[in-house]
Amino acid sequence: MTRIHARQALLPSGWADNVEVHVGEDGRIASVNVMETTTGDAVPPERSGEWTRVDTLLPAPVNAHSHAFQRAMAGLTERRGPDLKDTFWTWRELMFRFLDQLTPDDVEAITAFVQMEMLECGYATSVEFHYLHHCPDGQPYDALAEMSERIVAAAAISGIGLTLLPVHYQYGGCDRRPLRDGQRRFGTDLDQYARLLDGANRSVASLAPDAGTGVAPHSLRAVAKDAFSSLAALAEGRPIHLHLAEQIAEVDELVASYGKRPVEWVLDTLAPDEQWCMIHCTQMLPHETEGLARSGAIAGLCPITEANLGDGNFDGSRWLSNGGALAIGSDSNVRISLAEELRMLEYSQRLRDHSRAALATSEQSTGRRLFDAALAGGTQAAGRDCGKIAPGGWADLMTLDSTSVDLDGRRGDLILDSFIFAGDDGMVRDVWSAGRHRVREGKHTDRLSIELRYRETMRQLSQAL
C-alpha cells in the first residue's frame, strides 16, 4: 500500500490540511483521512519513513484528446508555402506526407515519449484519438489492430492511464469521395472498423485494469450520416468522440451537403448526451453553443493546438454559463503542458471580450474553475473513475513543488491560480496514474530509456524525409 501525507490537498469537499491518502495495491484510493494534529505541518513520528510526504496534493486530470504521432512534427511546420499563405488545410497536407514515413516501431517510440511528457506535466491519463491504422499504401497490417497494439505497448512502457479510441474514417468529404494518398492509412468501412475495434479491445484488456476503450467517428466529413447508429451500438455505453466544427471550410461543406451547420445537424439528429465528447467546437454560433452545452455532451478543447492551427476561439464563457462540461487535450502535441492549455483557454476569452478573469465566478477563482472543469470533464470524456481524491476511485494524483518561487506561501485556490497563470511544468513534482508512481522529483522514472529511443527514431525519420 502507498501512503501519502499532504500538507494540503484538494478534496471533493474543498481544500483540507494534513491529509493522509492510502492507495491500495489495486491502484485505487483505499482511504482519505484529514488528521488533527498540534504539530503544524509535521508528519507524526510514527508515520515517518514509510510515507511519501508532499506539500500540495491534487487530483491529476485527463488529457482528453491526443494524436500521439503528431508529436514528431512539432516545430517542423512553422513556415509558409510558396503562395505565402498557410492554413489548417496546408498543415494537413504536410501531416499526410509526414505520416507516410511512420512504421509501427516509430509510432510506439513516439507515443511512449508523448505519454511520458504528459505525465511530467500533470496528466495521469491519455485519451488517444487513434486513426493511423494501416500501411502507407492503405493495406491492413497482418494484424488489423497492429497500430492500436503499439499505442497499448507504449502505455505499458510509460505507465500512463489509457483510453484508446480507434477512429472510423471512411470518406474524404461529405460527398463520400474516396480517401486520397495521405488518408489511405486511416480508412475503414464499418465491418472492418468493427473488427479493428475488437482487436483494440483485446489489446487494451491485456494492459492494466484501469485502461479502457471507446469509439471515435472521425468527423461528419469522414463518416456517412447513416453510420452513426451502428457506431453508437459498437460503443456499448463507452465514450464516443467526434471532431466537430473546427474550421470555417468544414462548416461550409456541411451546410452545402446537409443543409445545416455541423452542430445544428448533430443536435437535431444524434441527440448527444454525456456519452459524447465533441472535439474543438471553435466554429459555433451562440444558439449552437447554448444547445450543445445543455445536451450534456463534453466540449473537448485543445487551446494550444487550436491557436497553432488558427481554428478560432471556443466560446467558453457562454458554454460554462449554460452548464456545459469541458475537457482539455493536447491534440497535435506541438506543446504538451497542462498549465498552458488552461491558461490559453482563459486568455482566448479575455482577448475576444476585452476582459479579465473571464471564466471566474463570484465563488471560484479562474484557476479553480478551470481546474475543476478539466477534472470533471476529463473523467467523463475518458470513461474513467478518476478526477477526485476520494475512496474507490483510481489513484490519479499529482503534486506541486512548494519550493517554487511562485508557490511560496500560497494556499488554497491561489495555488491553482499561480500554477496556471504564473507557473509551468517545472512545478509538477510527482504524478501517480492508478497508483503507479511514474513521475518523481519532476522526472519520469524511465525518462532516459524512453528519450533515447525517441531520439533514435527522430534521427531515422529526419533522414527519410
SS3 217: strand
Contact 416/44 with Cβ under 8 angstroms? no
The catalytic residue positions are 280, 331
- Matching residue, cell 499504401: 137
Concatenating the DSSP letter of every residue in 329-391 gives --BT-SS--HHHHHHHHHHHHHHHHT-SSTT--SSS-HHHHHHHHHHHHHHHHHT-S-SS--T
Give the per-residue pLDDT at 96. Answer: 72
Residues 6+ apart with CB under 8 A from 131: 67, 166, 167, 169, 186, 216, 218
Instruction: List own/partner pairs for 438-442 with CB under 8 A and 24 or more apart.
Output: 438/119, 438/158, 438/159, 438/160, 439/119, 439/120, 439/398, 442/120, 442/401
Concatenating the DSSP letter of every residue in 68-99 gives GGGGGGTTS--S--TTS---HHHHHHHHHHHH
SS3 442: coil
Q: What is the DSSP letter of 461?
A: H
Give me the residues of the chain with pLDDT under 70, please: 37-49, 81-85, 88-89, 91-92, 464-465
Q: What is the DSSP letter of 140?
A: P
Concatenating the DSSP letter of every residue in 24-44 gives -TTSBEEEEEE---SSTTPPP
* CA nearest neighbour of 281 among 260, 268, 269, 297: 297
Give the per-residue pLDDT at 394. Answer: 98
Query: What is the spatial distance between Cα 216 and Cα 127, in angstroms, rounded to a whole number?
Result: 11
Model confidence pLDDT, tens digit, residues 356-378:
999 999 999 999 999 999 999 99
CB atoms within 10 A of CB 93: 13
SS3 115: helix
- Matching residue, cell 482511504: 31
Strands 125-130 and 62-66: parallel
Largest CA distance in the chain: 71
Give the per-residue pLDDT at 37. Answer: 63
Percent helix, strand, coil in the chain, to 5, is: 40, 20, 40
CA atoms within 13 A on the CB side of 281: 33
CA distances from 266 to 244, 261, 451 (A): 9, 9, 42
CA distances from 44 to 54, 196, 278 (A): 14, 53, 47
Instruction: List own/partner pairs for 226-233 with CB under 8 A and 24 or more apart.
Output: 227/168, 227/170, 227/190, 228/269, 228/270, 230/190, 231/168, 231/190, 231/193
Measured between alpha carbons, how far apart are the two ends of the chain, in Å? 48
Give the per-residue pLDDT at 76. Answer: 74
